[in-house]
Amino acid sequence: MINLETPRKFRAFIHQAHQVAAEMLRPNSRQYDLAEHAYPKELDMLAAMVDGLGASGTGSGAGASGVRRTAGAEDDHGKVKNGSNLSSVLSVMEMCWGDVGLLLSMPRQGLGNSAIASVASDEQLRRFDGVWAGMAITEPGCGSDSASIQTTARLDGDEYVINGEKIFVTAGGRCDAVVVWATLDKSVGRAAIKSFVVFKDTPGMTVERLEHKLGIRSSDTATIRFENCRVPAANLLGTPEIDADKGFAGVMQTFDNTRPLVAAMAVGCARASLEVTRSLLSEAGVEVDYDRPIFQQPAAAALYLQMEADWEAAYLLTLQAAWMADNSQPNSLQASMAKAKAGRVANDITLRCVELAGSIGYSEHELLEKWARDSKILDIFEGTQQIQQLIVARRLLGKTSAELK
């Protein structure tokens, strides 16, 4: 049974993540928000430290990598495992309490790394160890419906030839490689979609441009074009066979592991807003009293309590989804529930905190307006709010994607 207390073995590590967020990420947050596309050089030292912690075994789950299911997590005595998925979401919450964009800019901690960790073979895990990988899914004509991907991968000897265009690739300009989603056969549908690790120096791969964005501006977001880009067949993640019965399940396992991470980003960003707003309310003479009913408190305090309750629900759903992955339990429903709840809660909380803080919240005097901008992407990427609700409905009603669109 899941225990909702932070596991004791993670507490020191979570404390370290919070210190990094407080002393390195948040102090640099405004600087790199204003200097869009400038690389945060401070992250090189942080990434080296995270790599060292991971190598020593004391920093499992640092950042956004390390999400991989292992069979047999529960033994015959009913013991459960608190592993890399849970430690990852807990550390990501702390880091995004500091800054979401800077976390997404950390070398070797990208969502592409999570994709590799989710579906790569043991040999591929060793071969791609230390690679900073972005994730290339979205296309100009294909957003939330990942099954409609038009980028193709054609087998030619011992290489795949990739053609297509990807947009909104997080860390696409800075990373060492991108995990590209492409179809082996358009006529087969979603079952033919596979993911490939493509290194940035591969001929035929071109970074077209970097996007200017509403939020997470310290993180670069790229458009990448592939023209007869030849990739070793060994860089296909998972099995090359097209299994119509299994369908999209192999690729979607990536989302089951990365959606709780995005939910954790939203939870961390929302918590930062709540803490600053409570401090500002206190300075203004508005105290939140947990011993009194909401209707007996000032309107601002009542709204704060409602937001805090929503935040708690998002937090617990995120822990549940990660814990289930650690214990080899199917978590597609819970991952989508956590992503949907946390993404919406982060948007609502950060915007309401701006409102509660008035002119201070709207100005650059505090980071509240920045967190409101940053939070919007957390309800969009890795599957929009609407897509998550659709997935949840399918799981609860036992419907297929063809039956419920």
Please write down the HEC assignment for all residues of the chain: CCCCCCCHHHHHHHHHHHHHHHHHHHHHHHHHHHCCCCCCCHHHHHHHHHHHHHHHCCCCCCCCCCCCCCCCCCCCCCCCCCCHHHHHHHHHHHHHHHCHHHHHCCCCCCHHHHHHHHHCCHHHHHHCCCCCEEEECCECCECCCHHHCCCEEEEECCEEEEEEEEEEEECCCCCCEEEEEEECCHHHCHHHEEEEEEECCCCCEEEEEECCCCCCCCCCEEEEEEEEEEEEHHHEECCCCCCCCCCCHHHHHHHHHHHHHHHHHHHHHHHHHHHHHHHHHHHCCCCCCCCCCHHHCCHHHHHHHHHHHHHHHHHHHHHHHHHHHHCCCCCHHHHHHHHHHHHHHHHHHHHHHHHHHCHHHHCCCCCHHHHHHHHHHCCCCCCCHHHHHHHHHHHHHCCCCCCCC
**Cα–Cα dist 93/168, whole Å:** 23
Residues in the chain: 405
**Cα–Cα dist 141/136, whole Å:** 14
Tokens 């409570």 belong to residue: 278
> Is the CB of residue 120 less than 8 Å from the CB of residue 237?
yes
Choose, from 139, 165, 366, 382, the residue flagged as catalytic: 382
**Cα–Cα dist 387/402, whole Å:** 14
Does the annotation mark 23 as catalytic?
no
Catalytic residues: 382
